[in-house]
């Protein structure tokens, strides 16, 4: 029996890195997502809100899990959405 070893390398790209590429602009993403370009710049700095991930992913071609790796579990095949934790008053 022959064993095959495969090494996978992932190159995650942030929105800020995408915008740093020649020809990629916040204005173009903003038009596709129907927001202002300053909103896109804010997302590049602070992270894309979960409710806007699909639109930004479609506009940039960057997978939603790359844009928000902290939410990767949500994007895993078959994973159930994570419910927000309940906070009890003291």
d(C-alpha 49, C-alpha 68), whole Å: 9
- 60 inside domain: yes
- 8 inside domain: no
- 80 inside domain: no
d(C-alpha 54, C-alpha 33), whole Å: 9
- 44 inside domain: yes
For 36-65, letters b (16+ CB in 10 Å) and e give eeebbbebbeebbeeebbebbbebbebbbb
CATH number assigned to the domain comprising residue 24: 1.10.260
Residue 86 structure tokens: 């309940």
On whether the CB atoms of residues 56 and 48 are closer than 8 A, the answer is: yes
- 69 inside domain: yes
Quote the pLDDT of residue 86.
52
- 87 inside domain: no
Nearest to residue 43, comparing CAs of 61, 66, 16? Answer: 16
- 83 inside domain: no
Total domains in the chain come to 1
pTM score, whole prediction: 0.69
pLDDT tens series, the chain, 90 aa: 565 555 544 567 899 999 999 999 999 999 999 999 999 999 999 999 999 999 999 999 999 988 998 887 776 655 555 444 455 555
- 65 inside domain: yes
On whether the CB atoms of residues 16 and 44 are closer than 8 A, the answer is: yes
Full domain range(s) for residue 27: 15-75
């Amino acid at each position: 029996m022959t064993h095959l070893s495969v090494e996978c390398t992932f190159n995650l790209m942030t929105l800020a890195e995408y915008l740093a590429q020649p020809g990629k602009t916040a204005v173009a993403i903003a038009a596709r997502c129907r927001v202002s370009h300053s909103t896109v710049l804010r997302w590049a700095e602070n992270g894309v809100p979960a409710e806007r991930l699909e639109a930004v992913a479609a506009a940039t071609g960057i997978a939603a899990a790359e844009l928000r790796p902290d939410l990767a579990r949500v994007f895993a095949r078959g994973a159930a959405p994570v419910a927000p934790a309940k906070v009890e008053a003291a």
